[in-house]
């Protein structure tokens, strides 16, 4: 390589910066000196690079679709293969979630429709992607174009793969249960991963994230599947895609049509007859291999990738969400997942008296009790009560009043409609009907530009009637810490009791 102005690959591509690094290689920004255009070049650095590069190139070359990355060339430099492809000026969905927080359901539908279209083209060419995840979905700056990339572990019908029989490749949190269980995979496996991707887009992370690879495996293959209600209008589509039996999942064409219709019209997808098929009975019989056997195969094949599944340490109340709950029992009791509102809908008698670590139960003079993060201080601001973190970065609010003629959902929808006038920069707002301790409730979520400092914030607000009172509980947090704010909200919601504890 030449060092004049940056390394020169194959005498043509001048490296100008690094874009990112993945499990199979490093992606660089480069200038094509022959054609005078900006490109991305992927430097592969694992064993079997040449064969892998050629296979990835041949795979992508078979697919023609506006939402699939365009491949230009495969070259060698110092005996190492490089894949040259179009440069998408933007961020991955993983970066968007990490930097900006979850996206609104309608935006998730737009992204999902584009990815599904790319999958439909790939499947028509006999290609399975096998690694659908936020890190492999790019969103172009300015245009919003969605691009599916990284076909490095894709499988082509009739082709020999680089991995031996029974080896595991992919990202376990996004991998279909039939692949986890060692069964054959088809297009439906990519669609399962799409369902997880949609959840991750609106939740901020995969609903199957756990503290260890073995727990991820157990969640995907055995635990009861409860899509987070934060998916809101997308819930019928997500439930259909996350059927454990591949034959019960809708095809790519149907899924793309439903997502695109919602993204373009704003009319939520209606539930289809197959969406409501129960998963009981046959659910566990699909997992043909014992958990221990599959765990061994996964751990051996995943290698260092397992480390990426471990969440960052989160302790204490001065900026930390509680860790996930213990694994499900052998009887199959579902496990609560931090940030999953479905974990907060248990009846009152099922909630332990002891609050989560980092919280304490308070009996508020206003006539209710709830779990409050350690270090928060109370402020009585009639008709509301607040609990603030230091510096008021996180704000937990509670309001009680006499119910009016409208129910909770109507109240929240009216608030949503008035959002642009009440909140500067109001956006990404939506209302989801739900329940609280068995009572009808409505969950309202939105993003806005914040207070005088102008830092964007995310708000989670639950309204319901109970015992002749209308309750409103909400948490507001900086947008970049929305997942932690959601954890505080879930703890308050799960522990809230009218009257003294």
Which positions are catalytic? 131
Local structure of residue 310 (DSSP, 8 states): S
Nearest to 173 by CA among 9, 308, 30, 60: 308
Give dist(CA 405, CA 38) in Å, integer.
Answer: 61
Long-range contacts of 241-247 (CB under 8 A, 24+ apart): 241/191, 241/192, 241/194, 241/195, 241/198, 242/192, 242/195, 242/196, 243/277, 243/279, 244/177, 244/279, 244/283, 244/286, 245/279, 245/282, 245/286, 246/176, 246/178, 246/186, 246/188, 246/189, 246/192, 247/188
Local structure of residue 68 (DSSP, 8 states): B
Strands (E), 365-417: 368-373, 377-381, 384-388, 395-401
SS3 at position 454: coil
Crossing angle for the helix pair 252-265 and 187-203, nearest 10 degrees?
30
Do 387 and 396 contact (CB within 8 A), yes or no?
Answer: yes
Give dist(CA 400, CA 473) in Å, integer.
Answer: 9
Give dist(CA 340, CA 172) in Å, integer.
Answer: 19
Local structure of residue 433 (DSSP, 8 states): E
Q: Give me the residue label for tokens 């409208």.
A: 406
295: region left, alpha or beta (phi > 0 left; psi from -120 to 50 alpha): alpha
Half-sphere exposure of 104 (CA within 13 A, CB side): 19
Local structure of residue 19 (DSSP, 8 states): E
Nearest to 170 by CA among 213, 211, 113, 122: 213
SS3 at position 490: helix
Which secondary-structure segment (H or E) carries 198? helix 187-203
**Max Cα separation, the chain?**
77
Half-sphere exposure of 144 (CA within 13 A, CB side): 7
């Amino acid at each position: 390589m030449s060092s004049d102005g940056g390394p020169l690959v194959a005498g043509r591509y001048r490296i100008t910066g690094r874009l990112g690094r993945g499990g199979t290689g490093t992606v660089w920004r480069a200038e094509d000196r022959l054609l005078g255009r900006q490109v991305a070049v992927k430097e592969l650095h694992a064993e079997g690079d040449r064969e892998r590069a050629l296979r990835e190139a041949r795979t992508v070359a078979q697919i023609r679709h506006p939402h699939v990355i365009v491949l230009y060339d495969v070259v060698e430099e110092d005996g190492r293969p490089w894949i040259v492809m179009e440069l998408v000026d933007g961020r991955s969905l993983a970066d968007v979630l990490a930097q900006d927080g979850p996206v609104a359901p309608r935006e998730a539908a737009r992204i999902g429709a584009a990815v599904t279209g790319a999958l439909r083209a790939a499947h028509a060419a006999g290609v399975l992607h096998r690694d659908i995840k936020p890190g492999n979905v790019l969103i172009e700056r300015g245009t919003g174009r969605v691009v599916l990339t990284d076909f490095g572990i894709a499988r082509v019908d009739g082709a020999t793969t680089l991995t031996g029989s029974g080896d595991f490749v992919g990202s376990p949190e996004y991998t279909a249960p039939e692949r986890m269980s060692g069964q054959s995979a088809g297009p439906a496996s990519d669609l399962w991963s799409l369902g997880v991707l949609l959840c991750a887009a609106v939740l901020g992370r995969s609903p199957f994230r756990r503290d260890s690879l073995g727990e991820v495996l157990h969640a995907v293959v055995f635990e009861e599947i409860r899509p987070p209600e934060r998916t809101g209008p997308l819930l019928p589509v997500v439930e259909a895609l996350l059927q454990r039996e591949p034959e019960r999942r809708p095809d790519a064409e149907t899924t793309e049509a439903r997502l695109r219709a919602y993204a373009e019209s704003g009319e939520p997808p209606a539930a289809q007859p197959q969406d409501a098929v129960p998963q009981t009975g046959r659910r566990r019989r699909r997992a043909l291999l014992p958990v221990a056997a599959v765990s061994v195969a996964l751990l051996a094949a995943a290698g260092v990738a397992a480390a990426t599944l471990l969440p960052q340490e989160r302790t204490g109340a001065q900026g930390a969400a509680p860790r996930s709950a213990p694994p499900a029992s052998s009887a199959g009791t579902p496990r609560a997942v931090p940030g999953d509102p479905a974990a907060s809908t248990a009846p009152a008698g099922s909630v332990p008296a002891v609050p989560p670590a980092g919280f304490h139960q308070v009996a508020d003079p206003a006539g209710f009790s709830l779990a409050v993060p350690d270090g928060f201080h109370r402020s009585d601001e009639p008709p509301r009560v607040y609990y603030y973190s230091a510096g008021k970065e996180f704000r937990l609010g509670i309001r009680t009043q006499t119910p009016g003629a409208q129910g909770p959902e109507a109240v929240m929808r009216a608030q949503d409609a008035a959002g642009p006038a009440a909140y500067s920069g109001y956006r990404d707002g939506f209302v989801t009907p739900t329940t609280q301790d068995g009572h009808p409730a409505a969950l309202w979520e939105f993003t806005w530009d914040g207070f005088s400092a102008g830092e964007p914030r995310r708000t989670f607000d639950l309204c319901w009637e109970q015992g002749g009172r209308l309750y409103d509980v909400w948490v507001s947090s900086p947008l970049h810490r929305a997942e932690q704010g959601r954890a505080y909200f879930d703890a308050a919601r799960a522990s809230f009791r009218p009257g003294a504890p």
